[in-house]
């Protein structure tokens, strides 16, 4: 971000403030860091998992790695917490990871390993924390900053610091989680949007991809919407979502039906199944 100058009549000397903006983005790639897979699940006797990091930028980048705790709200937003909500269990006490920081030259890759520990203390259920990769901004040597000629100005330098968090889930015991869909409604703004409520029941979270199809009065099925990686984490019982729908030639959003399907992700399930489906009739 650029340099911002602001007049201050009481100032006789230029003052430089370095403001670091911490942006915890829950995305797969940000700040030239690519992470795969986008989530880690320990179940079925797995003790070690790996994350593959790659710097797809043009400059060397350094990232500090830590564990953080996150709450999912019903609207799908996230916020950092330190105390688990009722029914929520953190995974961080049962995990170790290495290394704790990485420096990646351009187009280079590295593996971060996660390992279970203290598994004898794990009771049946689901445990979740997030592994957080915080970018460390490049620091200029002292004296490298340019001196402002106008001593009556205040200079504020904004340094964006990017972060990526990946959910790490530990599942112990039988998974009896189920999902359902309700409260479908269509809003016609600048683009059509489908409002959906996803419900979770059982002892663990649900995770999958959401697709929307238009079914014409004569039965023709046309894909019009898709969102990858939609989760309803414990202890939440529901999550609301707005899905932007495509404007496709020949699609009449006042006739036929819309069908929403919630499918298990093929990258995390060898035989992905359907978690839930629902339909709304259009008028």
Q: Which of 227, 226, 116, 215 is nearest to 171 (CA)?
A: 116
Q: Which residue has the tokens 């100032």?
A: 11
Mean pLDDT of 197-212: 97
Q: Which of 123, 141, 172 is the last residue of a domain?
A: 172
Q: How far apart are CA 75 and CA 78, in angstroms?
A: 9
139 and 17 within one domain:
yes
Check pLDDT > 60 for residue 14: no
% the chain with pLDDT above 90: 72
Q: Which of 172, 200, 224 is the last residue of a domain?
A: 172
- Do 266 and 216 lie in a common domain? yes
Instruction: Residue 67: give its domain's CATH number.
Output: 2.60.40.10
pLDDT, average across residues 60-65: 94
Selected residue with higher pLDDT from 162 and 156: 162
List CB contacts of 15: < 8 A, sequence separation 6 or more. 154, 155
Residues in the chain: 283
Asked if 68 contacts 165 with a C-beta cutoff of 8 angstroms, the reply is yes
- Shared domain check, 217 and 154: no
Per-residue pLDDT band for 32 (boundaries 50, 70, 90) equals: confident
- The answer to whether 230 and 241 have CB atoms below 8 angstroms apart is yes
- Look up the domain containing 223 and give its range: 178-281
Give me the number of domains the chain comprises: 2
Average pLDDT over residues 71-96: 96
- Tell me: do 192 and 159 sit in the same domain: no
SS3 content of the chain, % helix, strand, coil (to 5): 0, 60, 40
Same domain? For 198 and 276 the reply is yes
Query: Do both 151 and 209 map to the same domain?
Result: no
107 and 221 together in one domain? no
Looking at 150, 172, 194, the residue that finishes a domain is 172
Whether residue 214 sits in one domain with residue 185? yes
| Same structural domain, 230 and 204 | yes
Beta-bridged to residue 230, according to DSSP, are: 208
The residues near 107 (Cβ < 8 Å, ≥ 6 apart) are 54, 55, 56
In this structure, the answer to whether residues 152 and 194 fall within a common structural domain is no
Unique residue bearing structure tokens 């904004």: 158
Which of 28-32, 70-74, 85-89, 126-130 has the least mean pLDDT? 28-32
Least confident of 11-25, 56-70, 98-112: 11-25
Same-domain status, 190 and 161? no
Both 196 and 138 in one domain: the answer is no
């Amino acid at each position: 971000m650029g340099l911002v100058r602001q007049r201050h009549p009481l100032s006789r000397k230029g003052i430089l403030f370095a403001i670091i903006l911490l942006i915890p983005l829950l995305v797969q790639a940000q700040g030239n860091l690519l992470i795969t897979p986008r989530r880690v699940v320990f179940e079925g006797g797995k003790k070690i998992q790996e994350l593959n990091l790659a710097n797809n930028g043009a400059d060397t980048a350094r990232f500090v790695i830590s564990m953080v705790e996150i709450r999912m709200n019903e609207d799908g937003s996230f916020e950092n917490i330190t105390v688990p909500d009722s029914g929520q269990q953190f995974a961080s006490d049962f995990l170790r990871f290495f290394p704790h920081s990485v420096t990646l030259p351009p187009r280079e890759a590295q593996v971060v390993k996660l390992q279970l520990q203290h598994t004898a203390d794990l009771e049946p259920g689901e445990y979740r924390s997030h592994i957080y990769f915080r970018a460390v901004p490049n620091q200029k040597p002292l004296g490298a900053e340019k001196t402002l000629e106008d001593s009556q100005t205040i200079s504020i330098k904004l340094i964006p610091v990017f972060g990526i968090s990946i959910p790490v889930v530990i599942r112990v015991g039988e998974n009896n989680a189920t999902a359902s869909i309700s409260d479908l409604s269509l809003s016609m703004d600048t683009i059509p949007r489908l409002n959906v409520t996803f419900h979770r029941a059982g002892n663990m979270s649900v995770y999958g991809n959401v697709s929307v199809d238009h079914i014409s009065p004569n039965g023709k099925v046309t894909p019009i919407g898709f969102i990858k990686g939609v989760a309803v984490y414990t202890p939440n019982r529901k999550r609301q979502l707005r899905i932007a729908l495509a404007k496709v030639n020949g699609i009449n959003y006042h006739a036929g039906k819309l069908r929403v399907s919630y499918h298990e992700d093929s990258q995390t399930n060898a035989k992905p199944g359907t978690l839930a489906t629902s339909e709304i009739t259009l008028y």
